Chains A and B, each alone.
Chain A
Amino acid sequence: TVRCSSALTPELKSTLDKVVSSNKVVLFMKGTKDFPQCGFSNTVVQILKSQNVAFETINILENELLRQGLKEYSNWPTFPQLYIEGEFFGGCDITVGIPEW
């Protein structure tokens, strides 16, 4: 596999900047909060729900460019990806590993 160009265009980057900064908690996941399509994504949804955290979800399965671009934006290779107050927080293992939730 040769990757010649970046999926993270300047337009996508500025859109992502806006999305993560205008919502306190954003989860980029496989599926939606009501219909997660992967066990790891579901785990993070359940943690956020159990903590009564208000959060937005974005389904990366619906947009391949978003999916590839986000990996570069976060410098993180897998999904789900959780953003809190504009900052990348981590994936599933990190979310599970935080005792003070």
Chain B
Amino acid sequence: MGVTKEQVESSLKAKLNPSHVEVIDTSGGCGASFVVEIVSEQFEGKRLLERHRIVNAALEEEMIEIHALSIKKAVTPEQWKQQQESSNSVA
């Protein structure tokens, strides 16, 4: 039943060629709720709304069964690098 974390990850990998992707199943196992963090060159020059549309489109089939999808991060490799560096300097 539902969608697995692995299915979500493999669709995102196949369609967006991400340099980093993290999918967290927040459904407690029923496969209906996920949090996604993704880094892809395809987000270059795109506004946040467009980036989220790209992620939604990549998961079109899965979205039929997913109840809640939270896109915590949809950033470019450059932005990701900057964010990693600034969080490291704080820690």
Which residues of chain A have a CB within 8 Å of any CB of chain B? 1, 40, 75-78, 88-94, 97-98
Instruction: Establish whether residues B68 and A93, one from each chain, have CB atoms under 8 Å apart when the complex forms.
Output: no
- A94: B residues at CB distance < 8 A: 48-49, 52
Interface residue from A75, A77, A88, A92 paired with B70 (Cβ < 8 Å): A92
CB-based contact B70/A90 at 8 Å: no
Which residues on the A side are within 8 Å of B70 (C-beta)? 92-93
Bound CA span A75–B53, Å? 8
Q: How far is the CA of A90 from the CA of B70 in the complex (A)?
A: 12
Interface band, chain B: 10 to 19
Is A93 a contact partner of B52 (Cβ separation < 8 A)? yes
Closest to A94 in B: B48
Closest 3 CB pairs of A and B: A77-B63, A93-B71, A90-B49
| Bound CA–CA A88/B49 (angstroms) | 9
Among B48, B63, B64, B68, which residue has its beta carbon within 8 angstroms of that of A90? B48
- Alpha-carbon separation in the docked complex, A97 to B53 (Å): 15
B17 in the interface (beta carbon within 8 A): no
Are the CB atoms of A1 and B64 closer together than 8 Å? yes
Interface hub of B49, B63, B64, B72 (most chain A Cβ within 10 A) = B49
